[in-house]
Chain A
């Protein structure tokens, strides 16, 4: 565009012209207008900077707050209790799988007797309430011979209405069950005993720990109260410094009044340390007892599922014991006044495996489970969306007739307008049930994780997000294909290549950088999506269990975006939880910026010469 050259200065004519112009701040109207628009154009930069500023303002205090909280956690001795408590939690899951194995083993032996007893008692109740449905169920029951049925009916009829005695048949049935149960228990005596020893072994440790925990919680509460009051006092002092006269004196007096003693950590921790030897000893006893129990566990079991459960426990025991022994060592080495390094707060946020809030014990803000959830969902979404949208782009750009283009393009563009909350709703109402229904089909059972337990899971969210990502990836890939110089395809055609060869050996490779950056931008869109994952991902804050391989994608998870949307409304401003959520926001912001940066770099790197 040619620039309008300014009137040359100095001539008389120009001076006259200039007199007619008004200037503001040394700028004539044209310049003013230009600068106005120029200022407006920097709005995008300003907004980006402002986003960062406000996120930092609310979230920047997080690391120091969290560091402080972790310090109290150590000083008050909560950490001391957790050293022993964390490995003990494994014991509970192990005990529960042992119990389950046991019930699986015993089930075939006692099943008939128990069902017969229960059915008879149900019938008695139906008879008492004169419920005809109950009688019908009993009549149809295959568990009893006709003679037995008639006998029970006769006995019930003969029974006095208010009598609390049990009819003879019922007593007999109850007796039968008891005998069977006893038989089963004798048969699996070793497992039962092992299970009992296993459970009892932890009891002395738990007893000591409970006592210590109460004590530590008290210290922590005192410390928190002290910090609140102290913060208030500092504010009063600050106000006093800027006030004057009698007001100042009042404020100072008030500050003096609200002064409290900091809890004496050393004294309070002493109580914990006194028990240290007991605790270590109890842990030692626990180790011996568990080893004992593990030996008797090795008896072969008959049922495959039970055997699997028992085997998994057996496999877990050595690591568990190693953990316990490590815990004993840590307990012995633990010092309450060892300073908590600032790095610990950072790593506890970035690599912490627990996001635990509103707990009466201690809050932890570990972002790892959320990050894993977000990434898993995004990868599932990309895995589904990439082939579909790239295929659609290739087809629309290279093969489709004009008429088809007029159908496909608007429809795919239209997807962009479907609000995410509507898709989330569809995920809850339809897709969840569909996936669960599919997973129960016999011939699909080879897929890991099938049949699935939860309707709302990673796969469901990923599927819907894939749908959302299609328009972005489709239109950007199509642009990339469109930008391939015509000469390329013409040259290929001239060499006698078929259409398919031209497309897949010439055009797609030439556009690959654009397609890759389209995929990356799709990833950016997917990772930042909120409503779908909030509604559909299942919202369980835990790192998915990868022991099942790919089956992990059928477990529920929580995400970075979801946690903000879910929890921010309920926390008070300025608390560590609030700050933590803003830190998650900062993390998301940084992720989205870097994904964008990568996409641009890739697109630039492989740019082909403009023809």
Chain B
């Protein structure tokens, strides 16, 4: 039997099909580009990233030594001298390529520290702001201004955040110190020390706080959506049972919104890890031969008490946040733009880009997957 709804293959219908395919093509061009970028980086970068030590060693200068009989040695500065001695007359040439040797442990650790600081700060501020917007705020001038500010904050260029971080955290933020620096804007004397507005210098803390404000709008918007998604009935039920507003929020709104908030936080982490411009002047360093916690502290006397040991551990822990670090995006920038390009620097570049992309991409993918999953789980 003929299908009465089948197309009649008229010109109108052909036009419809053509247009549909054109539109489809536009969408799949983007998909294809994304996939091909990903594949390209994987193919080029995977072999270098799998090299032993790439993920577990610190960055160093790469020495490439050629001998007269055609052997090529790729080593670090220390071993280069040994090899040169061994080769003796057989030595032909040596090339040094900055930042391209060793691994990328330093940048990975630095990025992790920056992300921890920024997400902690942004999550606290962002969720508090979202709770107010979703649970307390009433329509009015204040609410409108807040929303406008959040929108505008999301549009501020990241390099402007970098300038802000430099001016605010690196040069002005308050520190507790016995000896205020000359550049401090003003000093508030406390009983045992001074609160001096002289800035934190370039360090993890400055960079982390700067990044926190970059991702703040993302976190606020996402958290508010999650809070709004909790059905109104939950709140009304809780109120009807005589709970206060805060009890309601704490017991019957937040528990249901938390998974969603954390999910979107992962997206914030990916964003914070990927930004370069805000940390350029606030935290990042092109080269460092130590991990942040490998700091030379004066050795304790043999009879030092528990308290002294404890104090030094705390000092070591805090020291991690008051030092500048290498960071993956800045490392890639250094490799790509600040050193002469050759085959050896290219290997380091593709390796780092691959690791970086995998890190960020897996974060983003987790977030997207979790969100779809959660949406299916919480259906009310």
Q: Which residues of A contact B (CB under 8 A)?
A: 1-2, 4, 29-30, 33-34, 36-38, 40-45, 47-48, 50-51, 54-55, 57-58, 387-389, 391-392, 394-396, 399-400, 407-408, 410-422, 424-426, 428-430, 467, 470, 474, 498-500, 521, 524-525, 527-531, 534-535, 561, 564-565, 568-569, 573, 581-582, 585, 588-589, 592-593, 595-596, 600
Contact = CB atoms under 8 A, between A and B. Distances in A.
A57 B360 contact: no
Given A419-B356, A429-B349, A411 B35 contact: yes
Nearest to B270: A417
Contacts of A565: 159, 162, 277, 280
B274 interface: yes
B160 A391 contact: no
B203 interface: no
B159 A51 contact: no
A575 to B, nearest CB: 14
Contact of A391 (B27, B151, B217, B361): B27
B235 to A, nearest CB: 7
Interface string B147-160: 01111110111111
Contact of A593 (B27, B137, B155, B245): B155
A588 B160 contact: yes
Nearest to B150: A44
Contacts of A38: 132, 136-137
Interface residues of B, number: 93
A37 B337 contact: no
Nearest to A57: B167
Contacts of A422: 41, 274, 332, 353, 356-357
10 contacts: A37-B136, A57-B167, A388-B30, A394-B23, A413-B364, A417-B364, A421-B274, A425-B349, A467-B33, A565-B162
Q: Which of B22, B37, B159, B273 has the most CB of A within 10 A?
A: B159
A221 B291 CA distance: 45
A345 B176 CA distance: 41
Contact of B30 (A392, A394, A589): A392
B220 interface: yes
A561 B163 CA distance: 11
B125 interface: yes
Contacts of B40: 426, 430
Interface string B166-200: 11100110000000000000000000000000000
Interface in B104-155: 125, 128-129, 131-133, 135-137, 142, 145-146, 148-153, 155
Given A55-B164, A422-B356, A430-B40, A40 B125 contact: yes
B245 A527 contact: no
Nearest to A414: B364
A54 B16 CA distance: 56
A414 B34 contact: yes
A51 B156 contact: yes
A525 B336 CA distance: 23
B136 A408 contact: no
B288 to A, nearest CB: 16
Contact of B128 (A36, A408, A413): A36
Contacts of A45: 145-146, 149
Interface in B325-368: 329-330, 332-333, 336-337, 346, 349-350, 353, 356-357, 360-361, 363-365, 368
A455 B137 CA distance: 53
A44 B149 contact: yes
Contact of A37 (B26, B128, B336): B128
**4 closest A-B pairs (Cβ-Cβ)?**
A528-B157, A391-B26, A419-B274, A54-B167
A43 B129 contact: yes
B128 to A, nearest CB: 4
Contact of A44 (B37, B220, B277): B220
Contact of B137 (A41, A421, A595): A41
Contacts of A396: 27
Contacts of A561: 157, 159, 277
B281 interface: yes
A48 B365 CA distance: 31
Nearest to A42: B146
Contacts of B150: 44
Given A388-B30, A527-B157, A592-B160, A421 B333 contact: yes
B163 A564 contact: yes
A534 B337 contact: yes
B26 A392 contact: yes
Contacts of A429: 336, 346, 349-350
Nearest to B28: A408
B349 A531 contact: no
A585 B163 CA distance: 7
Nearest to B171: A573
Interface string B229-243: 000100110010000
A54 B168 CA distance: 6
B29 interface: yes
B149 A413 contact: no
A165 to B, nearest CB: 37
Contacts of B66: none
A593 B161 CA distance: 14
Contacts of B12: 498
B155 A524 contact: yes
A419 B159 contact: no
Contacts of B155: 521, 524-525, 528, 592-593, 595-596
Nearest to B271: A417
A396 B30 CA distance: 12
A568 B276 CA distance: 14
A534 B12 CA distance: 49
A534 B368 CA distance: 30
Interface string B41-52: 100000000000
Contact of B160 (A387, A399, A418, A589): A589
B368 A414 contact: yes
Interface string B61-99: 000000000000000000000000000000000000000
Given A44-B146, A54-B167, A395-B27, A589 B156 contact: yes
Contacts of A410: 368, 372
A338 to B, nearest CB: 36
A585 B160 contact: yes
B19 interface: yes
